[in-house]
Amino acid sequence: MLILGIDTSGHTASAAICSEEAVLAQTSVVTRLTHSQIILPMCSRIMKEADVSFKDIDCIAAAIGPGSYTGLRIGISAVKGICFANGCKCAGISTLEALAYNFRGLKAEVCCVMHARQELVYNANFIIDGLKVTRLCEDRIIPAADLAAELSGKHGVYAVGDYAKELCEKYADNLLPAPPQLCLQQASSLCYAAFDGEMMTADSLEPDYLQITKAEKDLLEKNK
């Protein structure tokens, strides 16, 4: 079984092709370009390098959030289009859960944390015991100080995500920041989360922003 993973949830754009046993190809780029400019060329390149075509792909995994509203829409739209055109299944994976899968194969507790706005963060915590990744809480939006207080009595917990360094430096010096090669989104981790999850049809794939969009906020303010 082959899974193509596409992650456009943050500054990193990442694509990977994985089997159950191996990462066949992967590329990740931290870029100022919009994900719409680079993600499909990235997919074409790694498929050529892995010598596979869309007819060989059984499932396409997409990061569904939290993360950049625009980035998520771009990635999910790309996955829907590919699935509709090729008749394959897809899998919607939490960005935070995929970050935890960066540590799959190790034994660790992981605090996945991404910047939301101001002093708020997106967070979910996981226990990794070898190949098993167990969720400790649902994805949520929480003040960084409150998250640090929850974790204040713990040691040996890794912080991973785009706010990991800031969380450790400003709020929770008892946490261990993930090393750079494990700290940000990797499409291969998305693929392995999909292997452990459930597949769906493309018309069921939707983003999970965890907070309302700016347009919705503006509308609420206008209607007050």
Same domain? For 74 and 115 the reply is no
- Both 147 and 196 in a single domain? no
Categorize the per-residue pLDDT at 33 as very low, low, confident or very high, splitting at 50, 70 and 90: confident
**Single-letter amino acid code for the residue at 31:** T
DSSP string covering 148-184, please? HHHTTT--SEEEESTTHHHHHHHT-TTSEEPPHHHHS
Domain count, the chain: 2
Domain that holds residue 113: 103-183
- Give the model confidence (pLDDT) of 75-113 as tens digits: 999 999 999 999 999 999 999 999 999 999 999 999 999
Domain check: are 66 and 136 in the same one?
Answer: no
Tens digits of per-residue pLDDT, 162-209? 999 999 999 999 999 999 999 999 999 999 999 999 999 999 999 999
For the entire predicted model, the pTM comes to 0.94
Q: CATH code at 162? A: 3.30.420.40
Pairing between β-strand 107-117 and β-strand 120-129 as defined by DSSP bridges: antiparallel
**Same domain as 134, residue 83:** no
Q: Residue 215: what pLDDT? A: 65
What's the chain's average pLDDT?
Answer: 94
